[in-house]
Chain A
Amino acid sequence: KQEVTQIPAALSVPEGENLVLNCSFTDSAIYNLQWFRQDPGKGLTSLLLIQSSQREQTSGRLNASLDKSSGRSTLYIAASQPGDSATYLCAVEYGNKLVFGAGTILRVKS
């Protein structure tokens, strides 16, 4: 069964810290991996998409890496801000279907 796991489930950090969110997946035959942000009561916002042939993608203070062989991805957030507080979801695409992790709830304290 294709499963996606995110660690930690929740994280609380002071403003300004760099942090890493982890995502692991059981089936390495992926098309791509996508990181999303979800604010309470809202929809999902796409942050980064990494194609299966890529190793990393960057957007502003965000950097996502992908290691297919080990079934892992990390989302690195630099210089965290209170506005980064949200749930971060990792989703792996298998043949046009996304399998989601349960998410990491991030709180950045000012």
Chain B
Amino acid sequence: DAGITQSPRYKITETGRQVTLMCHQTWSHSYMFWYRQDLGHGLRLIYYSAAADITDKGEVPDGYVVSRSKTENFPLTLESATRSQTSVYFCASSGLAGAPSSYEQYFGPGTRLTVT
């Protein structure tokens, strides 16, 4: 089905382990985003990408790595997971290649990550 998907939906990992969250969209949207949602902080932008091979930091990038070798995929890697990275992670996409911003962002269903 068309849309934006995330995997896994739930993940439990231990402190210090590397974990990768996957995001895939079928709309050929140029922009993709990663957010985390925490009680008391709302949704905060981690990283975003304007196109394949173009990424930029958001508000809370420390401890995360992203890549975008293909337009449709935007994986988020926690290099060495910490308890403070326990959160719900949302991927989003928007826009058409070459278009300016001001397009709606469409969100995936989220990944609930617990770091023990």
Q: In the bound complex, do residue A43 and residue B48 qualify as a contact, i.e. CB atoms below 8 Å apart? A: no
How far does the alpha carbon of A43 sit from the alpha carbon of B108 in the complex, in Å? 6
Residues on B with C-beta less than 8 A from A49 are: 102-104
In the assembled complex, B74 has its CB within 8 A of some CB on chain A = no
Q: Which of A43, A45, A96 contacts B101 (CB 8 A)?
A: A96
With both chains docked as a complex, state the minimum distance between the C-beta of A73 and any C-beta of chain B, in angstroms: 15
Chain A interface mostly? strand
Query: Which residue of B is nearest A49, CB measured?
Result: B104
Question: Contact at B50–A96, with CB atoms within 8 Å?
Answer: yes
Query: SS class of chain B's interface: helix, strand, loop or mixed?
Result: strand
Q: Is A34 an interface residue (CB 8 A)?
A: yes
Chain B residues, CB < 8 A from A52? 102
Contact A43 B42 (CB under 8 A): no
Q: Could you tell me which residues of chain B, from 63 to 116, have a CB within 8 Å of some CB in chain A?
A: 90, 92, 101-110
| Closest Cβ neighbor of B105 among chain A residues | A98
Q: How far is the CA of A11 from the CA of B99 in the complex (A)?
A: 38
Which residue on chain B has the smallest CB distance to residue A95? Answer: B101
Q: Is B22 an interface residue (CB 8 A)?
A: no
Binary interface profile of A, 51-90, with partner B (CB < 8 Å = 1, else 0)? 1100000000000000000000000000000000000010
Does B19 interact with chain A (Cβ within 8 Å)? Answer: no
Are A46's CB and B106's CB within 8 A?
A: yes
* Chain A interface (Cβ < 8 Å from any Cβ of B): 31-32, 34, 36, 42-46, 49, 51-52, 89, 91, 93, 95-98, 100-103
